[in-house]
Structure 1
Amino acid sequence: MSDVCRGASSPLAASLTHAAVHETLRGDLSSVVYRSDTEGTEDGEQEELFSCDALLGRCLGCLQEISGQWQKQLPPLPPAPRPFHVSAHAIRNTRRKMEDRHVVLPEFNQLFGIADGVGRAYFAVFDGHGGVDAANYAATHVHVNVARHEGLEQDPGRALRESFQRTDATFLRKAKRERLRSGTTGVCALLEGDRLHVAWLGDSQAVLVQRGNHVTLMDPHKPEREDERNRIESLGGCVTYMGCWRVNGTLAVSRAIGDIDQKPYVSGEGDVTSRPLGGTEDFLVLACDGLYDTVSLPEVPGLVLGHLRENGGEWQGAAEALVTAAKKGGSADNITVLVVFLRDPVSVLEDCLAQGSGKEEPLFDFGGREAASDHAA
């Protein structure tokens, strides 16, 4: 669809996409549906599946038709989304394959035709393992399930949590049908008006920075957590130490989408936290464990603020600065980082620099790269 929408603003492209998908789903789809083979399905039942190529062709046809109509007369559209400064950087690093995926969707309402007057933006990082299928699936489906959840407006936290579960359940059906063994951790942030909702599975993490200091939002799902160990053992599984704590001697995370061979010990049920935003929050960082393996949460503010200071407020490279610090610290994993600025980056830097001590010394350590290098040594 990108070719048809080329040249359009992001909000307009999102609204066009929504209109095209809506029109496609309204039509007769019998010609693009087929029945799967019975092998691998529950009780030998067949499943009705879409032919991807045929469905895409139908949707592109609708998109071209709607684009032509809108060029003649533009319909009323949802209000433009709040602008966000988002820095993103992802590298394969020393791994053979890149199994991370990330989603940046400030146009959440426009993409799904939500017109209730509440601004929404969605950001996510998925860290795949055992292949990229689960991460691809989660990056494609979680936000769709959130948008279609009947409780989104009343209880966004529940919508996020249950969307993780629904995505896990539908991916497991796909995994059984196609004999896939991959899984993925994930962390998602939904900014809704003046509230922040964060949902997670596994050890990908989100950290909020407020007035230059980190705010811990979550406790990652690792097998060594007492509640996770008790849950796994109560189901008949075990937690053993093999270089690190692992579920049944294999996975180093205790919750994930997918991992069909490790269900139910590796749970697909996520956790959610919600908090109000008062306007003093600086930025939000979402990243996979490839970052946090060598960069601690308290180091995150200094690394980002250090980059802003060294580059005169330039914010596009903030995520890359975190990735570079993780690499220098010895991380060999895939690394994906999103930095979502909740205020203007220049204002963030100015306010933090102004918060010096009585001896005119800064309160924050801006020597991020050097500090990370020393930490690794």
Structure 2
Amino acid sequence: MAAETVDGESSRKLLSAVLHDLSGPEGQPRPQNRRVSRDEAEGELSEAVLRLVGGRGGQSWLAACLVGSAVHQTLLTDLDSFVEKKQDEVEGPENDVQTGSLLDFDALLQRCLTCLQEISSQWQIQLPSAPTTKRSLLVSIHSIRNTRRKMEDRHVSLLEFNQLFGFKDGVERSYFAVFDGHGGIDAANYAATHVHVMVARHETLMSDPARALKEAFQRTDAMFLKRARRERLRSGTTGVCALLEGDQLHVAWLGDSQALLVRQGIPVTLMEPHKPEREDERERIESLGGCVTFMGCWRVNGTLAVSRAIGDIDQKPYVSGEADVSSHTQCGSDDFLVLACDGFYDAVSSSEVPSLVLGHLQENGGDGQHVAVRLVAAAKEGGSSDNITVLVVFLRDPAKILEDYLAHGSGEDEPLFDFGGGGVEVASDHAG
């Protein structure tokens, strides 16, 4: 009962903070003079309102419910009233989105903030019921610009996936992603804003989540290409996403950002990166009339070092927006999942990851909160000059993981975490 009282007080403080900030002009987002398509509206609103509500303490599930409810209520209104029409702008035939179908995002956001205020006021009187969760996940994230001029990585961690999107079917879901942009940040920002929305709203999420995750990449790519034509954008992004749904782990990827599962201290290969030198990728590119050439590394048409990505409008269709996906059943012995960009995996091998993580746990008494910092540092020390982003999801209590390894022990004068540089590759339950 005491814990419930504390949680209730914390929740009401969050609602009060939101209402206080929205009541003054300093709490209002600055106008951006942006236009968005109807397909982009949910993702763009969710991103903007999450930034406003997030980081204020309180219960994270409440923040997700608050954002999801405000966005949902906003989208129930007649969106035609937000259509922005500019008489002096004419879309050419190469632009497949008509000006009249785009929405004034500033006006739409103001409507959403009004909904946010109304819901916050209502919930101060009667709080919604807290979700019942059986799974507790610790997530550690760290990223650095490193020696690059710009930071073009983005990441997403949604432990409250169900609360954000209003799912109440009793199946626990969490979503994680790392996007590594190139040629600018626009594509990575776009993917980090929209891929998870495309997953949540896919018609097969309940029946075939792997398909939903795979096709979310394609839909996001198609949406971004429309914006790229409108706004003359040329950037692209690789990406790797993980959807935890019940006891299933689904991983989807484009390009060379990667996911690695560690099971009982052994690295498990979940995927093969999309690189031009892969025989199947080379054949696909050449069958379309493109070429793969070596210029320091293998590149598509002498430019990109990855063969699949969101965006890269000048290199379509040679650089494909079609993701691959693999699915795995968690058996209770999975330790942790690592999502990272190539700035990490080019400098740290998969076989090194378990020792680095478990060594950190040993040094910190089983506390895994900052393990991503350790992994990023290892990549930098290993010679990486690229942007580096690492996201670690502990699938078991890190203290229990350490306890299990210590219980098994090692022989005298032998390293505690010595996996012999080996790894295993497991066939997925589903791949495509």
Residue 361 of structure 1 pairs with residue 411 of structure 2: no
- Asked if the contact 1:293–1:331 (Cα under 8 Å) also holds between the matched residues in 2, the reply is yes
1:340 aligns with 2:390: no
The answer to whether the 8 A contact 1:38-1:45 is kept is: no
Question: Cα 1:132–1:41, aligned 2, differ >3 Å: closer, same or farther?
Answer: farther
Equivalent residue, structure 2, for 1:285: 338
1:326 aligns with 2:379: yes
Q: Secondary structure at the match of 2:120?
A: helix
Residue 91 of structure 1: aligned partner: 144
Q: Which of 252, 255, 267 in structure 2 is aligned with 1:199? A: 252
SS at match of 1:298: helix
> Does the Cα contact within 8 Å between 2:236 and 2:309 map onto a contact in 1?
yes
Q: Per the alignment, do residues 366 and 52 of structure 1 end up closer, same or farther by CA in structure 2, a change over 3 Å counting?
A: farther
How do 1:24-173 residues align onto structure 2 when only pairs under 5 Å count?
Answer: 24-35=74-85, 37-40=89-92, 42=94, 46-47=98-99, 48-76=101-129, 78-80=131-133, 82-173=135-226
Contact persistence 2:181–2:235 (CA under 8 A): yes
Q: CA RMSD in A?
A: 2.0
The C-alpha deviation readout for 1:185-214, integer Å capped at 9, x for no partner, is 000000000010000000000000010110
Instruction: Quote the residue 2:236 is aligned against.
Output: 183
Q: How does 1:207-356 map to 2 (within 5 A)?
A: 207-356=260-409
Hey, which bits of structure 1, 4+ residues long, moved more than 2 A? 1-8, 28-32, 35-45, 74-83, 353-368
Deviation per CA, 1:169-194, whole angstroms, max 9, x where unpaired? 00000001100000000000000000
Q: When the two structures are superposed, what TM-score results if normalisation uses the length of structure 2? A: 0.82
Amino acid paired to 2:306 = V
What is the distance in 1 between the residues matched to 2:58 and 2:93?
42
- Structure 1: runs of 5 or more not aligned: 369-377
Question: What letter corresponds to residue 95 of structure 1 in structure 2?
Answer: R
Shift of 1:32: 2.2
SS at match of 1:278: coil
**Separation of aligned partners in 1, 2:243 and 2:96:** 39
- Equivalent position SS for 2:157: strand
In structure 2, what is the Cα distance between the partners aligned to 1:45 and 1:208? 41
Distance 1:232 1:365 in 2: 41
Within the candidate set 8, 15, 18, 2:68 is matched to 18
Partners of 1:75 and 1:314 lie apart in 2 by 32
Give 1:53 deviation, angstroms.
1.6
> C-alpha offsets along residues 224-250 of structure 1, whole Å, 9 cap, x if unaligned?
000000000000000000000000000
Show the counterpart of 2:8.
none
Q: Give unmatched runs, 5+ long, in structure 2.
A: 1-48, 422-432
SS at match of 1:220: coil
Partner deviation per Cα, 1:11-34 (whole Å, 9 max, x = no partner) = 011111111011101113333221
> Is residue 237–residue 265 contact of structure 1 (8 Å, CA) maintained in 2?
yes
Contact 2:249 2:328 in 1 (8 A): yes
Rounded to whole Å, the distance in 1 between the matches of 2:185 and 2:127 is 39
1:373 corresponds in structure 2 to none
* Percent of aligned pairs with the same amino acid: 73
* 1:371 corresponds to: none
Q: Aligned equivalents of 1:40 and 1:173: distance in 2? A: 13
The answer to which of 345-354 and 56-65 deviates more is: 345-354
